[in-house]
A and B are shown apart, each in its own frame.
Chain A
Amino acid sequence: MIRRWIWGFALLVWLVIWLNSHFSTDARSVTIYCSHDRSHSQQILDRFEKETGIVVDAVFDTEATKTVGLTERIRSEQKRPRCDVHWSNEPLRAVQLAQEGHYDTLPEGAGPGIDSRWRDAGNLWCGFAARARVVATHPESLASAAIPRSVKGLIDRSLSGKVVMADPRFGTTGSHLAILRVTLGAQRYRELLQGWKDNRIQIASSNSSSRDRVLSGEAWVGLTDTDDVEVVRRRGASIGEGFLEEDGVILLPNVVAVVKGCPHPEEANELARWLLREEVEEWLANSPSRQIPLRTEVPVMASGLSLSRFEPLEIDWSEAAGQLHEAVREAERILLNP
């Protein structure tokens, strides 16, 4: 009998704690869907919370291959949005959301100093703190002179079977391909893919997996992002990094947008404005993800990357987002289909 009472009491305590953890308090709050590195973005959101007193409920993304991510969640919640602010670490899918009407206009004056290349003409989204697409290289297998400076260099016969890229349908690799399709044109894009296929390009599950194949020496060159390279460098790994300067360096900024019909519009505007401040870019630039500030005046530590260091490719974001579907389908057909 006593045992039953103990179990009943434990259940009651659990129920109270559980309910308490799910029902929000009366405090002002804002919900953010964030696909940036949790460990860094959480610190930034904590600072916002401390500064403004607005409680932040964050939902973080994962790029595990078995998920479709927060972009799809925003789509599925269209009739009754739960998210106030969307912080995407990849611009094209955010641009698609803007085109589909999921975003509201950002507050006036948000993101001062960020030029029009990195923001929507209708002020539906604004970019900040970018990553660059790079090739990770295995220093012992590849002389620095041979590091490809263009995606076309990846079809060089000397690299046959030694180039790796992530699954082209997901994440920043998909965005990279869509941008290539816009800049090269459909025909030359398909020829490039065929060239990669003929050169026996390896397909890994993710950018980090591509990097790992380079680290292990199985591949000599891997298409990936700057943050994926930096994270292992900080752990002491020996890995090279080359920018695809002949094509124009592709920078993929983080994007902030306010969701249309969101439950806390006032707080959402406040958070969006706050995230687009210079300090946030500076924190991200100096974090282990080594983001590239989109304002040239933001100070960057010595080992960091600044915008002035390279010539970024001019990208028509709307066009690239519009071509994402075709770019991915063609990549699937040429590179992946049995």
Chain B
Amino acid sequence: MAHRELALDLDQCVVTRGIAVIGPVSLQLEVGEQLALTGPNGAGKSSLLLAVAGLLPIQSGTLSIAGQSIASGADGAEPWQRGIGWLGQERGLWPHLSIEAQCRLVGGKKRELEPRIAALAEQLAISDRLHRFPAQLSGGEAQRAELLRAVIIPGRLLLLDEPFSAQNQDGRQRMQVLLDLLCTEGSSVLMASHEVPEDWASCSIGSN
């Protein structure tokens, strides 16, 4: 069997958030793979995503993203250097910028970005919302817009925390189709969710 490239490799990682201790957790995510983290409330799904993103410290264990080992503690790569797309549980759109401006800010000023923004927005059914500000969007639209911002750079590890929470059936389907598409072009998805979409691999973490 051919050796496949790993997008994420967690080995015996322990994460602490306040008094809660999560782990040790070990998981491997291959490039192009979609994995759902499941577990009861308070199990530490969001904390694990935050730790992978570099927003919570990892107490012990090793972490590699795209084959690059990331040191724990202060020496670890900064969140922005890890090549991550992020969609949090709470809305994290910046209210002072339009959706398009936010995508440009994340994706850079490349000319080739424009058709990509347009295509992804079309898929998410927010093409006519690109020039709007977050306050002018509905809850579902805002969540899709945030996903758009997270996936604007191709080939990234996407960390999604309850990405479908505000979606109706149509919105949810559109997002899933988009994520499938992105995985074929080299992205990988690690998602914390209570519900696992069909065809997705899943793993469960327990409560401590």
Q: Do A and B have CB atoms closer than 8 angstroms in the complex?
A: no
